[in-house]
Amino acid sequence: MSAAAAPAGRPPERLLLGSGPSPVPREVLDALAWPTIGHLDPAFAVIMDDLAELLRATFATANRATLPISGTGSAGMDALVGNFVEPGDRVVCGVHGLFGERMADQLARAGADVVRVEAEWGRAIDPARLIEAARGGLDAMVVVHGETSTGVAQPLDGLGQACREHDALFMIDCVTSLAGHPLALDDAGVDAAFSGTQKCLNVPPGLAPFTAGERALAKLRARSSPVRSWYFDLSLVLSYWQGDGGRAYHHTAPINLVYALREGLRLVAEEGLEARWARHRQAHEALRVALLGLGFERLAPEGEALWPLLAVRVPEDIDEAAVRRMLLLDHGIEVSGGLGPLAGRAWRIGVMGTGARRQPQRRLVSALAGALGVDPTEALAALDEAWGGVRASAQ
Amino acid sequence: MSAAAAPAGRPPERLLLGSGPSPVPREVLDALAWPTIGHLDPAFAVIMDDLAELLRATFATANRATLPISGTGSAGMDALVGNFVEPGDRVVCGVHGLFGERMADQLARAGADVVRVEAEWGRAIDPARLIEAARGGLDAMVVVHGETSTGVAQPLDGLGQACREHDALFMIDCVTSLAGHPLALDDAGVDAAFSGTQKCLNVPPGLAPFTAGERALAKLRARSSPVRSWYFDLSLVLSYWQGDGGRAYHHTAPINLVYALREGLRLVAEEGLEARWARHRQAHEALRVALLGLGFERLAPEGEALWPLLAVRVPEDIDEAAVRRMLLLDHGIEVSGGLGPLAGRAWRIGVMGTGARRQPQRRLVSALAGALGVDPTEALAALDEAWGGVRASAQ
Q: pLDDT class for A216, splitting at 50, 70, 90?
A: very high
Could you tell me if A234 and A212 are in contact, meaning their C-beta atoms sit under 8 angstroms apart?
A: yes
Look at residues A75, A210, A233, A253 and name the one whose alpha carbon lies nearest to residue B196.
A253
Look at residues A281, A336, A355 and name the one whose alpha carbon lies nearest to residue A19.
A336
Q: Is B37 on the interface with A (CB under 8 A)?
A: yes
Give pLDDT tens digits for A159-175. Answer: 999 999 999 999 999 99
For residue B146, report the phi and psi dihedrals to the nearest 5 degrees. Answer: -120, 100
Verify whether the Cβ–Cβ distance B29 to A36 is below 8 Å: yes
Overall residue count recorded for chain B in this entry? 395
Could you tell me if A13 and B36 are in contact, meaning their C-beta atoms sit under 8 angstroms apart?
A: no
**Which residues on A lie below 8 Å from B31 (Cβ)?**
7, 10
Q: How far is it, in rounded angstroms, from Cα A62 to Cα B20?
A: 33
Overall residue count recorded for chain A in this entry? 395
In single-letter form, the type of residue at position B208 comes to A
Q: What residues pair up with B390 in beta bridges, in sequence order?
A: none
Nearest CA in chain B to A25: B35
Question: Which of B47, B70, B259 minimises the CB distance to A72?
Answer: B70
pLDDT higher at B302 or A245: B302
Q: Is A173 on the interface with B (CB under 8 A)?
A: no
Q: Is the pLDDT of residue A41 over 70?
A: yes
Q: Is the pLDDT of residue A204 over 60?
A: yes
Residues contacting residue B219 through CB under 8 Å, at least 6 positions apart: B84, B169
Q: Is the pLDDT of residue B393 over 50?
A: no
Q: Is the pLDDT of residue A24 over 80?
A: yes
B26-269: what fold?
A: Aspartate Aminotransferase; domain 2 (3.40.640)
Give pLDDT tens digits for B278-320. Answer: 999 999 999 999 999 999 999 999 999 999 999 999 999 999 9
Could you tell me if B334 and A41 are in contact, meaning their C-beta atoms sit under 8 angstroms apart?
A: yes
Q: What is the pLDDT of residue B248?
A: 84
Q: How far is it, in rounded angstroms, from Cα B90 to Cα B369?
A: 50
Give the count of beta carbons closer than 10 Å to the beta carbon of residue A97.
28
Nearest CA in chain A to B225: A109
Q: Output Rg (C-alpha) for chain B, integer angstroms.
A: 21
Q: How far is it, in rounded angstroms, from Cα B172 to Cα A235?
A: 26
Q: Is the pLDDT of residue B246 over 90?
A: no
Measuring CA to CA, how many Å separate A25 from each of A56, A202, A264, A389?
Answer: 22, 7, 8, 25
Question: Which of B110, B250, B329 minimises the CB distance to A228?
Answer: B110
Measuring CA to CA, how many Å separate B318 from each of A41, A190, B57, B260?
Answer: 21, 51, 43, 39
Give the β-pairing of B169-173 and B65-69.
unpaired
Give pLDDT tens digits for B136-194. Answer: 999 999 999 999 999 999 999 999 999 999 999 999 999 999 999 999 999 999 999 99
Q: How far is it, in rounded angstroms, from Cα B170 to Cα B91?
A: 10
CATH number listed for the domain at residues A272-386: 3.90.1150.10
N- to C-terminal Cα separation, chain B: 43
Mutual orientation of helices A358-372 and A377-386 as an angle, nearest 10°? 160
Query: The pTM is what?
Result: 0.96
Ramachandran class of A388: left when φ > 0, alpha when ψ lies in -120 to 50, beta otherwise:
left
Verify whether the Cβ–Cβ distance B74 to A230 is below 8 Å: yes
Could you tell me if A187 and A52 are in contact, meaning their C-beta atoms sit under 8 angstroms apart?
A: no
Nearest CA in chain B to A6: B27
Q: Is the pLDDT of residue A148 over 90?
A: yes
CA distance A32 to chain B (A): 6
Measuring CA to CA, how many Å separate B243 from each of A341, B65, B222, B254, B364?
Answer: 20, 11, 21, 18, 47
Q: Is the pLDDT of residue A269 over 90?
A: yes
Q: How far is it, in rounded angstroms, from Cα A208 to Cα A79?
A: 9
Where do the structural domains in chain B lie, given as residue ranges? 26-269, 272-386
Nearest CA in chain A to B111: A228
Angle at A147 between CA A142 and CA A152, to 5 degrees: 115
Could you tell me if A189 and A168 are in contact, meaning their C-beta atoms sit under 8 angstroms apart?
A: no
Could you tell me if B218 and B190 are in contact, meaning their C-beta atoms sit under 8 angstroms apart?
A: no
Measuring CA to CA, how many Å separate B162 from each of A188, B62, B139?
Answer: 57, 21, 12
Question: Which of B12, B78, B228 minimises the CB distance to A109?
Answer: B228
Q: Output Rg (C-alpha) for chain A, integer angstroms.
A: 21
For residue A343, report the phi and psi dihedrals to the nearest 5 degrees. Answer: -60, 130
Three-class SS state of A95: strand
